[in-house]
């Protein structure tokens, strides 16, 4: 059945295959004596573009725009944001969280967040990165749960013990709320350092969840540079959220605390015990 399928591809390999297909199409047109098509002109422009131009093409594409056919106001917005932030990858990340009309305000918050970053030595035990190509048959939450249990085990945390994320990762704040569907900015240098910045309206419980999710991103697939924690629903982001829930409030630990009593007071007691939201506890009970 070719109408439904799931497959995780290496991004570089996928881009290489697409480029090869386009190049073959252009050569075929030339062999047939056809020249001057839009495809040929744009492909020639792309092939002769320098690295800055290529980066801008990728940034524009992340926002659903064609670098070679985009409104002038949108081009100015992206150019200003790129100059202010200096990270095409971060702007591409932002495209999944806020509309283009909010780009200027979002860029200002990102600039403040970057200035607030103070990466500190990473104290997390090393774990092998997830092989995403072999995880396609597993639900994202299963991947997240398993990795959270592995890390808790390496940290010597019994199921009923609260995870002291504040000892693993320090959260810093900006002077304003984070934009749209952005929860935090993360900075990482491989396994050497890890830091996270949130908006000033983030609650203590939300800070713990953001911290756990940042740890999850690092544990599931170690990163370098800047990236955003957003509320988008990509496979890896769902795995991160499942990791955070199980790392902070393991299903087995909740079972110990409530001891068969799933009344509202019992669930509130579990939430207080693990210092998480009541909603997180309810999701853990329902899902596991």
| CA separation, residue 133 to residues 138, 143, 180, 236, 243 (Å) | 11, 12, 31, 12, 19
| CA separation, residue 24 to residues 11, 20, 29, 40 (Å) | 20, 6, 9, 11
Share above pLDDT 70 across residues of the chain, in percent, rounded to a whole number:
95
**Extended beta strands in the chain, E state:** 120-121, 171-173, 182-189, 193-198, 224-230
Tens digits of residue pLDDT in 17-64: 988 999 999 999 999 999 989 888 888 888 888 888 888 888 888 888
Lowest mean pLDDT among 1-10, 210-219, 234-243: 1-10
DSSP 175: S
Tokens of 270: 């579990």
16 SS3 class: helix
Quote the CA–CA distance of 82 and 169 in Å, as a whole number: 29
Residues in CB range of 34: below 8 A, 6 or more apart: none
Q: Is residue 257 a contact partner of residue 245, using CB atoms and an 8 Å limit?
A: no
Tens digits of residue pLDDT in 69-94: 888 888 898 988 888 888 888 888 89
């Amino acid at each position: 059945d070719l109408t439904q399928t799931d497959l995780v591809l290496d991004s570089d390999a996928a881009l290489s295959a697409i480029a090869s297909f386009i190049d073959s199409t252009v050569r075929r047109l030339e062999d047939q004596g056809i020249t001057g098509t839009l495809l040929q002109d744009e492909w020639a422009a792309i092939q002769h573009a320098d690295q800055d131009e290529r980066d801008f093409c990728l940034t524009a594409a992340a926002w659903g725009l064609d670098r070679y056919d985009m409104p002038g106001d949108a081009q100015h917005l992206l150019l200003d944001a790129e100059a202010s932030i200096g990270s095409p990858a971060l702007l591409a990340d932002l495209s999944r969280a806020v509309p283009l009309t909010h780009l200027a305000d979002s860029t200002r918050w990102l600039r403040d967040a970057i200035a607030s970053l103070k990466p500190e030595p990473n104290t997390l035990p090393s774990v092998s990165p997830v092989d995403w190509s072999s995880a396609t048959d597993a639900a994202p939450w299963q991947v997240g749960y398993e990795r959270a249990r592995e890390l808790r085990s390496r940290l010597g945390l019994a199921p009923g013990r609260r995870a002291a994320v504040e000892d693993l990762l320090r959260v810093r704040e900006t002077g304003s709320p984070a934009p749209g569907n952005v929860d935090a900015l993360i900075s990482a240098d491989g396994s050497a350092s890890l830091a996270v910045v949130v908006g000033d309206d983030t609650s203590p419980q939300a800070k713990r969840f953001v911290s756990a999710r940042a740890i999850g991103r690092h544990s599931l697939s170690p990163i370098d540079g800047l990236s955003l924690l957003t509320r988008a629903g990509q496979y890896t982001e769902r795995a991160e959220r499942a990791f955070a829930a199980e790392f902070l409030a393991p299903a087995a630990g909740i079972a110990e605390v409530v001891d068969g009593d799933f009344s509202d007071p019992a669930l509130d007691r579990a939430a207080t015990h693990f210092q998480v939201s009541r909603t997180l506890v309810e999701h853990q009970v329902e899902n596991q």
